[in-house]
């Protein structure tokens, strides 16, 4: 009877020491929920080869696990099979060129300069956008002390002017 009761007691297995520690059901569920999440992710990528009968041993520390495999990890420095360089040599560079960054910055300065010509409170509006790029026209109108509808109409005209500078 004692062995049967021992099986129903929740525990966490410490792989490093090989001992089982009795815990509450909440602690057990919390620990193994995270370990299961990690194990499933590793299995999906072919890096976990843990047999089903030893799942209770899984603690989510895959790098130290005896069942951990390389899976779909490939080094960009690994030589290609045809001998023509490495995989890293063929990875496209997705960063913007310096010319694009400079031209974007110049366009932004042009847009801000035109906004300053069209609205006397342009610096306040720009600062509101810099502080929160999702700020609404209503919130900016409140900060400027302008009626919301009037400000919205003014911003519509200003945006039309700024689109002309951008070319669309």
In the chain, where the domains are located? 8-74, 98-166
- C-alpha 138: how far from its chain's center? 30
**Average of per-residue pLDDT across 25-42:** 90
- C-alpha 99: how far from its chain's center? 28
pLDDT in tens, 75-131: 677 777 787 878 777 777 778 889 999 999 999 999 999 999 999 999 999 999 999
State yes or no: pLDDT of 1 exceeds 70: no
In percent, the amount of the chain with pLDDT more than 70 equals: 92
Question: How far is the C-alpha of 113 from the C-alpha of 110, rounded, in Å?
Answer: 5
Range in 3-12, 89-98, 133-142 the model is least confident about = 3-12
Q: Which residues contact 54 (CB under 8 A, 6 or more apart)?
A: 67
Range in 38-47, 50-59, 77-86 the model is least confident about = 77-86
The closest alpha carbon to 39, from 71, 75, 17, belongs to 71
Question: How far is the C-alpha of 92 from the C-alpha of 58, rounded, in Å?
Answer: 38
| Residue 165 · residue 111 · CB < 8 Å | yes
Q: How confident is the model at residue 167 (pLDDT cuts 50, 70, 90)?
A: confident
In percent, the amount of the chain with pLDDT more than 90 equals: 42
| Token pair listed for 153 | 């109409």
State yes or no: pLDDT of 72 exceeds 70: no
**Average of per-residue pLDDT across 16-21:** 87
Q: Which residues contact 45 (CB under 8 A, 6 or more apart)?
A: 71, 72, 73
Q: How far is CA 80 from CA 47, 71, 73, in A?
A: 22, 18, 14
- Phi-psi group of 147: left, alpha or beta (phi > 0 → left; psi -120 to 50 → alpha; rest → beta): beta
12 φ, ψ to 5°? Answer: -120, 130
Higher pLDDT, 4 or 166: 166
pTM above 0.75, yes or no: no
For all residues of the chain together, what is the average pLDDT?
85
Question: How far is the C-alpha of 104 from the C-alpha of 55, rounded, in Å?
Answer: 54
Question: How far is the C-alpha of 76 from the C-alpha of 96, rounded, in Å?
Answer: 21
């Amino acid at each position: 009877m004692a062995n049967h009761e021992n099986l129903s007691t929740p525990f966490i297995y410490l792989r490093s020491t090989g001992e089982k520690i009795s815990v509450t059901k909440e602690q057990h569920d919390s620990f193994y929920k995270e370990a299961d999440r990690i194990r499933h992710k590793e299995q999906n990528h072919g890096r976990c080869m843990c047999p089903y009968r030893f799942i209770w041993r899984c603690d989510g520390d895959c790098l130290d696990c005896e069942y951990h495999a390389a899976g779909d990890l490939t080094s960009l420095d690994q030589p290609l099979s045809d001998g023509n360089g490495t995989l890293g040599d063929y990875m496209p560079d997705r960063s913007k060129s310096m010319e694009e960054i400079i031209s974007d910055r110049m366009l932004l300065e042009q847009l801000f300069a035109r906004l300053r010509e069209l609205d006397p409170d342009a610096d306040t509006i720009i600062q509101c956008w810099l502080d929160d790029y999702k700020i609404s026209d209503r919130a900016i109108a409140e900060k400027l002390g302008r009626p919301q509808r009037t400000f919205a109409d003014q911003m519509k005209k200003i945006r039309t002017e700024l689109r002309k500078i951008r070319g669309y």
